[in-house]
């Protein structure tokens, strides 16, 4: 067994979910995750005193076939069965993987929308609230191809990104949290980007290894109707439905996206996403990436939103611990990489420069710059 499997299992069980004696642990995994990784996880859970529930195994191709043509009645039954399992669990540990990241792209948009409203909008909210959970990907050959890397090189990239010192990150992020929590106005500048909004009164929440792996961000939310300006994201985004867009651009007035465009992709599909419900055109999250182990964007949000020097502004649902009142079935993280080699950019808090070209400027925040973090 690759010794990194055991290190990852120890991280997920001992640090991220803190499994203890008698905890019921539900493994939600994919057919693309190797058996030895599952074995390492089960052994670590038992070592911690937990018990394993029967796993939920997902096949992406079969899931896509079944999602096409889904009905509200069928999804209600799926949701009920899903909820029974999740409500019985104390801990959920999820692996996601794919042989083809575009597998869901043939699902008709109306079916994808219906599925997201019922399964994502209802079940996942309950799952987040009622279990200790952690989610990670698996470095499949298809994932490596998406990242433009060999499988061996991408496995090294993956483990370098996920096996960081989250305890040290937790300590170094505290000054940024305090700064954000006393900030009112945020201004973001960059190539074809000029945007301002308020985060006054909304908590800043650190993400340092307890939910997503890899981790490394601090998020809050914009005051719902405060955002004005435009933003031109400089990365590729692939939706849960397998739709791919490059260089998404939004114009925003009083918090609402009034115009959407993209450099690559079908803008009509973007508008379908934004029209899922009334709140999908408003933003539910603003976050800064602080994990310098994630050295490049790879076309997967779980990794890309953590890139040190990046930010993401997310149309749709806000999180309950950073609420701005925006409830939606959509939560679409799109990343703007502000490192110098990707065009650079600046962030101001209450008129004072906080980050330039991805690097934090105030001395108290230097611990978040490489190679310290």
CB 73 within 8 A of CB 109: no
Which band of pLDDT confidence, cut at 50, 70 and 90, is reported for residue 121?
A: low
By DSSP bridging, strand 91-96 and strand 24-30 are: parallel
Question: The domain 3-162 is classified under which CATH number: 3.40.47.10, 3.40.50.300, 3.40.1830.10, 1.10.357.10?
Answer: 3.40.1830.10
Structure tokens at 112: 């994808």
Core vs surface per residue 163-192: b (16+ CB within 10 A) or e: bbebeebeebbebbeebbeebeebbbbbee
Tell me the two tokens of residue 168. Answer: 């040290």
- Rounded Cα distance between 209 and 165, Å, is 9
179-218 pLDDT per residue, tens: 999 999 999 999 999 999 999 999 999 999 998 999 999 9
CA 231-287-160 angle, to 5 degrees, is: 115
pLDDT tens digits along 3-29: 999 999 999 999 999 999 999 999 999
Q: What phi and psi, each to the nearest 5 degrees, are found at residue 126?
A: -65, -40
> Which of 27-31, 105-109, 110-114, 238-242 tops mean pLDDT?
27-31
Residue scoring higher pLDDT (77 or 194): 194
More confident residue, 103 or 138: 138
pLDDT band at 48 (very low <50, low <70, confident <90, very high): very high
Could you tell me the residue ranges of all domains in the chain? 3-162, 166-368
E strand intervals along 102-243 = 132-137, 185-190, 193-198, 205-207, 212-213, 217-220, 228-232, 236-238
pLDDT tens for each residue of 140-165: 999 999 999 999 999 999 999 999 99
For the chain, how many residues are written? 373
pLDDT tier for residue 122 given thresholds of 50, 70 and 90: low
Mean pLDDT of the chain: 93
Q: In this prediction, what percent of the chain has a pLDDT beyond 70?
A: 97
Per-residue pLDDT, 117? 79
Strand partners, 51: 24
């Amino acid at each position: 067994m690759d010794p990194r499997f055991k290190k990852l299992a120890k991280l997920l069980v001992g640090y991220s979910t803190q499994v203890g004696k008698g905890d019921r642990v539900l493994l939600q995994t994919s057919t693309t995750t190797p058996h030895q990784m599952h074995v390492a996880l089960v052994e670590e859970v038992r070592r911690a005193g937990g018990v394993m529930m029967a796993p939920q195994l997902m096949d992406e191709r079969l899931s896509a076939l079944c999602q096409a043509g889904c009905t509200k009645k069928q999804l209600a039954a799926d949701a009920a069965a899903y909820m029974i399992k999740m409500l019985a669990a104390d801990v959920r540990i999820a692996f996601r993987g794919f042989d083809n990241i575009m597998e869901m792209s043939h699902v008709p948009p109306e079916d994808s929308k219906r599925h997201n409203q019922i399964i994502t909008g209802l079940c996942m909210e309950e799952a987040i609230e009622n279990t200790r959970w952690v989610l990670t990907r698996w470095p499949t050959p298809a994932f490596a191809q998406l990242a433009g890397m060999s499988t061996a090189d991408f496995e090294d990239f993956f483990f370098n990104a996920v096996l960081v010192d989250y305890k040290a990150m937790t300590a170094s992020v505290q000054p940024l949290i305090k700064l954000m929590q006393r900030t009112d106005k945020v201004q973001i500048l960059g190539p074809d980007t000029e945007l301002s909004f308020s985060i006054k009164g909304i908590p800043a929440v650190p993400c340092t290894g307890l939910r997503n792996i890899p981790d490394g961000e601090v998020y809050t939310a914009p005051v719902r109707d405060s955002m004005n300006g435009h933003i031109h994201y400089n990365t590729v985004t692939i939706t849960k439905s397998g739709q791919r867009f490059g260089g998404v651009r939004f114009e925003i007035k009083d918090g609402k996206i009034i115009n959407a465009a993209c450099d690559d992709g079908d803008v009509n599909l973007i508008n379908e996403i934004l029209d899922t419900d009334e709140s999908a055109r408003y933003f539910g999250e603003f976050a800064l990436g602080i994990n310098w182990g994630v050295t490049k964007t790879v076309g997967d949000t779980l990794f890309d939103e953590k890139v040190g020097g990046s930010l993401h502004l997310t149309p749709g649902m806000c999180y309950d611990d950073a609420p701005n009142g925006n409830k939606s079935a959509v939560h679409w993280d799109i990343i703007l990489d502000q490192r110098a080699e990707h065009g650079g950019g600046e962030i101001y808090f209450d008129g004072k420069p906080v980050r330039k070209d991805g690097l934090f400027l105030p001395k108290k925040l230097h611990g978040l710059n490489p190679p310290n973090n």
